[in-house]
Amino acid sequence: DTAVSQTPKYLVTQMGNDKSIKCEQNLGHDTMYWYKQDSKKFLKIMFSYNNKELIINETVPNRFSPKSPDKAHLNLHINSLELGDSAVYFCASRRDGYHLGQYFGPGTRLLVL
């Protein structure tokens, strides 16, 4: 009964490859997010998405694209992977309304060689 799940947990790949990370939430939440956490533990938002609007952090390269097949899923697709993309990627979700706390998934550890 995991609330926010991500697959895979670990991803090791070569530069130039295209990869996807999947995220699912079973909380019935309205908005989902992707964050990148670097080696210094700094968490930075990449995207936020609900059925009305996609907000993209302007610093995110266009090689990254979120794809939402339905309200419970927000996948992250990355084209032409670069060494600097190595990081931990977290998915999160939140229910619209007063409480703005986001619930995070366990993370996907991406290593680009």
Q: Mask of contacts with other proteins, 58-87, x by CB under 8 A?
A: ------------------------------
Q: Mask of contacts with other proteins, 12-51, x by CB under 8 A?
A: -------------------x-x------xxxxxx--xxx-
**Does 55 help bind other proteins (rule: CB under 8 A)?**
yes
To other proteins, the closest distance from the beta carbon of 104 in angstroms equals 4
The residues pairing with 56 across neighbouring beta strands, listed in sequence order, are: 47
CA 93 from centroid of its chain's CA atoms: 10
The nearer residue to other proteins, 82 or 96, going by C-beta atoms, is 96
Say which amino acid occupies 80.
S
Give the span between the Cα atoms of 58 and 54, in whole angstroms: 12
* The two structure tokens encoding residue 53: 């609007």
The residues pairing with 78 across neighbouring beta strands, listed in sequence order, are: 19, 64
